Chains A and B, each alone.
Chain A
Amino acid sequence: MIPSVLILTLLTVSVVALILWVSRRWGANDDSVVEQIDALLPQTQCAQCGYPGCRPYAEAIASGEADINQCPPGGQAGVDALADLLGKESKPLNEEHGSHKPPVVALIDEDRCIGCTLCIQACPVDAILGAQKMMHTVLASECTGCELCIAPCPVDCIDLVPAQRPMIHPKPMSIDIRVQA
């Protein structure tokens, strides 16, 4: 009787220990966690989260310094994905950092641009092309719509326009026929 109880207890304890150890091991590698978090962030590089780009924010999340709900471009879906990855409860997007908006791209009004290069310095992904005293232009395919170039422009010639999205065939009607209550 007593030996069997002992063996059972031992077995349970060792299995629990094994499970805990494996789950620790899983999440132990810091570098890969940052990578995995970074992979879920939208890479808009807009700094709305309070960090100078997605990767710094990813590092901050990994070190426990930042919360998971600070990235507006990622939206609620992004928060949910992060919560899923980190095994945490999901939470609503923190509106203090901004709200989720449909994707946009910057467009420079080329007639008004004075060629000051300030926007070039602001752009986190080098999506603006231009030189001193020359007209500047935004590479729409490279622009992430981070809005960082809007504020520095001294003549307010940069606008945000809706990004071209691929067309999506609409969902067909709902299939569940219900009695209208």
Chain B
Amino acid sequence: MIGQRATLPHRPARRNVSQVMGQVLIALLPAIAVHAWLFGWGIFIQLALAIGFALSFEAVMLQLRQRPVGVYLKDLSAVVAAVLFALSIPPLAPWWVSGVGMFFAIIIAKQLYGGIGHNLFNPAMVGFAAVIIAFPLALTQWVIPRTLAQTVPDWNTTWVAILQGPQALGGTMDAISQATPLDQLRTGRLDGQTLSEIGIDPMFGLFGASGWEWLALAYLIGGLYLIGQRIITWHVPLAVLLGTIVITLPGWLMDPDLFRSPLQQLAAGSLVMCAFFIATDPVSGSSTPKGKIIFSIGVVVLTLVIRAWGGFPDGVAFAVLLMNMFVPLIDRYTVPRIFGHPKHKRDETRSVR
């Protein structure tokens, strides 16, 4: 209306938060498909559980915090966190894993910090870290991928395992599940075996983790889609992937018995997912381009350290959370050079004119 102030820009509807989050979900579809092909029905039930928990927790918290529930549920950020979480946990994990994970992700990490845009830590990773500490056993029992077992658990087994817990299946559970390649590597190393001794196991496949490499590929495809859609910039993925290769290559070249190959580091475990979907979480990540690179290198280094010497098979979640704490510091020291300003900041009194 004439005479009524409108805020800028005066433009037709533009991309909004729901659409951005929607595109992240689209980019996760290949990974979900590969996951289902490798490990069976589990992922769908896990997705339904995680999304259901996430949305209900979010709705309750929004109501309590007197925020418009509809507006904030529609932004889909809780759904993205839930999907990332569901993709990180074993496909046959019992339902309470999702419940506890989403409780920490949505209520503690997100809403108690002030809701979307205010969380200091990556919600999905907070949830994952919480369950890996709370249920270490349940989280190491992964279904044997189709590439090894030639089959996947049927609907019934999956259903029972998730709803009643793995004990309900008795011996079947042991037959269909095994440790993840990363876990196997860790226990092998603890037993004093060399990498080539451990590596004969068929579970390590061609590139270091049979089946898992397809998952990594799916994340890569989805991630490239996100870059194409300009949802994420190249900084984080490139820094994570290149960082991993550069850091692990010299050791592997020197002694492949002692150090894992870069390809195995990427293919087994969740570094590729981290590169495109976790470390790229905007809210808890760095704001500046240089800061994003530093953040990513930090995540890689910490992940590799935890993999090599830590108490958990994979360290992405803890690495990301640790680096989240450094984000304010990183941001402070990586403020980009402003257009027209000299490269090296001199002590200047800025004029207002």
Residues B26-64 near A (CB distance < 8 A): none
B66 near A181 with CB under 8 A, answer yes
Residues A123-181 near B (CB distance < 8 A): 170, 172-173, 177-179, 181
A177 near B67 with CB under 8 A, answer yes
> Interface readout for B50-88 with A: 1 if CB under 8 Å, 0 if not?
000000000000000011100100000000000000000
Residues of A within 8 A of B71 (CB): 177
What is the predominant secondary structure among interface residues of chain A facing chain B? loop
CA distance A49 to B66 in the complex (A): 46
CA distance A170 to B7 in the complex (A): 11
CA distance A179 to B63 in the complex (A): 9
CA distance A181 to B67 in the complex (A): 10
A178 near B7 with CB under 8 A, answer no
CA distance A173 to B67 in the complex (A): 17
CA distance A170 to B66 in the complex (A): 27
- Find the A residue at minimum CB distance from B115: A176
B5 at the interface (CB under 8 A from A): yes
B5 near A178 with CB under 8 A, answer no
Count how many chain A residues have C-beta atoms less than 8 Å from C-beta atoms of the other chain: 7
Residues of B within 8 A of A178 (CB): 66-68
Summed over the interface, the residue pairs from A and B with CB atoms below 8 Å come to a total of 13
A173 near B68 with CB under 8 A, answer no
A172 near B7 with CB under 8 A, answer yes
Residues B89-128 near A (CB distance < 8 A): none
CA distance A170 to B4 in the complex (A): 13
- Find the A residue at minimum CB distance from B7: A172
Give the one of A170, A177, A181 with max B CB within 10 A: A177
- Find the B residue at minimum CB distance from A179: B66
Residues of B within 8 A of A172 (CB): 7
Residues of B within 8 A of A177 (CB): 67-68, 71
- Find the B residue at minimum CB distance from A170: B5
Closest Cβ of chain A: how far from B116's Cβ, in Å? 11
CA distance A181 to B7 in the complex (A): 26
Residues A57-96 near B (CB distance < 8 A): none
CA distance A177 to B7 in the complex (A): 16
Closest Cβ of chain B: how far from A129's Cβ, in Å? 28
Residues of A within 8 A of B67 (CB): 177-179
A173 near B66 with CB under 8 A, answer no
Closest Cβ of chain A: how far from B274's Cβ, in Å? 31
CA distance A173 to B71 in the complex (A): 17
Residues of A within 8 A of B66 (CB): 178-179, 181
CA distance A114 to B71 in the complex (A): 69
Closest Cβ of chain A: how far from B72's Cβ, in Å? 8
CA distance A177 to B66 in the complex (A): 9
Residues of A within 8 A of B5 (CB): 170
CA distance A181 to B63 in the complex (A): 11
> Interface readout for B2-32 with A: 1 if CB under 8 Å, 0 if not?
0001010000000000000000000000000
Closest Cβ of chain A: how far from B87's Cβ, in Å? 31
- Find the A residue at minimum CB distance from B62: A179
A179 near B68 with CB under 8 A, answer yes
Give the one of A170, A178, A179, A181 with max B CB within 10 A: A179
CA distance A179 to B68 in the complex (A): 5
Residues of A within 8 A of B7 (CB): 172-173
CA distance A173 to B8 in the complex (A): 12
- Find the A residue at minimum CB distance from B69: A179
Closest Cβ of chain A: how far from B3's Cβ, in Å? 14
Closest Cβ of chain B: how far from A113's Cβ, in Å? 37
Closest Cβ of chain A: how far from B167's Cβ, in Å? 44
Closest Cβ of chain A: how far from B251's Cβ, in Å? 44
CA distance A126 to B67 in the complex (A): 57
Closest Cβ of chain B: how far from A160's Cβ, in Å? 28
Residues of B within 8 A of A173 (CB): 7
CA distance A12 to B67 in the complex (A): 49
CA distance A181 to B71 in the complex (A): 16
Closest Cβ of chain B: how far from A28's Cβ, in Å? 26
CA distance A98 to B44 in the complex (A): 71
CA distance A123 to B245 in the complex (A): 76
CA distance A179 to B71 in the complex (A): 11
Closest Cβ of chain A: how far from B23's Cβ, in Å? 23
- Find the A residue at minimum CB distance from B6: A172
Residues of B within 8 A of A170 (CB): 5
Query: Ordered nearest first, which 6 A-B pairs have the shortest CB separation?
Result: A179-B66, A172-B7, A179-B68, A178-B66, A177-B68, A178-B67
Report 5 cross-chain contacts, Cβ distance below 8 Å, ordered by A residue: A170-B5, A178-B66, A178-B67, A178-B68, A179-B67
Residues of B within 8 A of A (CB): 5, 7, 66-68, 71
- Extra A-B contacts (11), CB below 8 Å, given A177-B71, A181-B66: A170-B5, A172-B7, A173-B7, A177-B67, A177-B68, A178-B66, A178-B67, A178-B68, A179-B66, A179-B67, A179-B68
